[in-house]
Structure 1
Amino acid sequence: MKLSEIRKDLPTLSNIKFQLGNGTFVPEHFVTEVGITKDFIDCGDVIRNEKIVNFQLWNANDYEHRLKPSKLLNIIKLSEEKLGIEDLEIEVEYQSDTIGKYGLDINGEIFILKRKTIACLAQDTCGIPSEKQKKNLAELPVSQTSCTASSGYC
């Protein structure tokens, strides 16, 4: 989900709810911050700059207040003005057992935290072997699928 999409959705909501992929909801007494970018060097010695809007959800001990859509919209507007945030993809950081990073989507009135995966960005220079192409045994000639001493497939 891009920043422009959440800006469009927030005014239509009465409350903000975030739900993990397993159905668990982020407690309603969270606070957030909005930031951008990450500079790093990968294992192939390539300097990289990742531009992404980062939302951080943190459980506060303040059970009396809830972040309303208008307040989050105001935080986003300030971030655009003061930090120069562009219309980028949103990544959400949320701490449960450990800090997790999630993509963001919306399902009606609920924001869904989508599971993300990581990968090596420099596999060709770091010695990471590429995944071997899998073969469908049903499509191979019988001579290549039978287990005989001369077939080389045992």
Structure 2
Amino acid sequence: MKLSEIKSILPNLNNVEFQLENGAFVPEHFHVTEIGFVTKHFIDCGGTIRDEKVVNFQLWNANDFDHRLKPSKLLNIVKLSEEKLGIEDANIEVEYQVDTIGKYDLDFNGTNFVLKNKQTACLASDSCGNPSTKPKIQLSELNNSCCTPKSGCC
């Protein structure tokens, strides 16, 4: 989800609720402790230099049980962040601590914002020797005479 999308969704909500992919909810007394614009400049395993930019929201499960972040308040925080930090309309990444700090993509299911699990991936599979798909081989096509029954190789 891009920053422009959350800005268009928030005015239509009564409450801001975040839900993990497993169905568990971020406690309703969470705080958005920071919004930032993060640039990652890196080199992948194939030697390609890359840049990645994300808008980062950090959620914190506070012990302030009377606190409820309203959509208008979050929208004001987003607008202030854009103004003061020069944030671009980039994808949103959410930091939230369960067992450790996790990073999530953000989606919306029509009612709640959903923290989508992120996965690592090889960005240079074509040049680093790691094929993107495993070759499919029939066992009957293998000519491996050393691994015959009773050969003791396995």
Q: Tell me which interval the TM-score lies in, with the shorter structure as reference length.
A: 0.7 to 0.9
Q: TM-score, normalised by structure 2?
A: 0.80
What residue in structure 1 maps to residue 13 of structure 2? 13
Consecutive unaligned residues of structure 2, counting only runs of 5 or more, are 148-154
Q: Which stretch of the first structure deviates more once superposed, 51-60 or 113-122?
A: 113-122
User: Counting helix residues as a fraction of each chain, which structure ranks higher?
Assistant: 1
Please give the residue correspondences for 1:43-54 in structure 2 after superposition, counting only pairs within 5 Å: 44=45, 48-54=50-56
Give CA-to-partner distance per residue, 1:87-115, whole Å, 9 cap, x none. Answer: 11111111010111111111122111111
Provide the aligned C-alpha RMSD in A: 2.4
Amino acid at match of 1:37: V
Consecutive unaligned residues of structure 1, counting only runs of 5 or more, are 138-144
1:152 aligns with 2:146: no
2:88 aligned to which of 72, 86, 91: 86
* Partner SS, residue 31 of structure 2: strand
Give structure 1 regions of 4+ aligned residues with deviation exceeding 6 angstroms. Answer: none
Amino acid at match of 2:53: K
Conserved? CA contact 2:44–2:50, under 8 Å: no
Give CA-to-partner distance per residue, 1:58-111, whole Å, 9 cap, x none. Answer: 111111111110110001101111111111111111101011111111112211
Amino acid at match of 2:63: N
Quick one: distance in 2 between partners of 1:49 and 1:101?
18
Quick one: distance in 2 between partners of 1:65 and 1:26?
13
Identical aligned residues as a percent: 61
Q: TM-score, normalised by structure 1?
A: 0.80
Aligned CA distance change for structure 1 residues 123 and 135 (closer, same or farther; 3 Å): closer
What residue in structure 1 maps to residue 130 of structure 2? 129
Amino acid at match of 1:134: P
Please give the residue correspondences for 1:112-127 in structure 2 after superposition, counting only pairs within 5 Å: 112-121=114-123
Aligned residues: 143
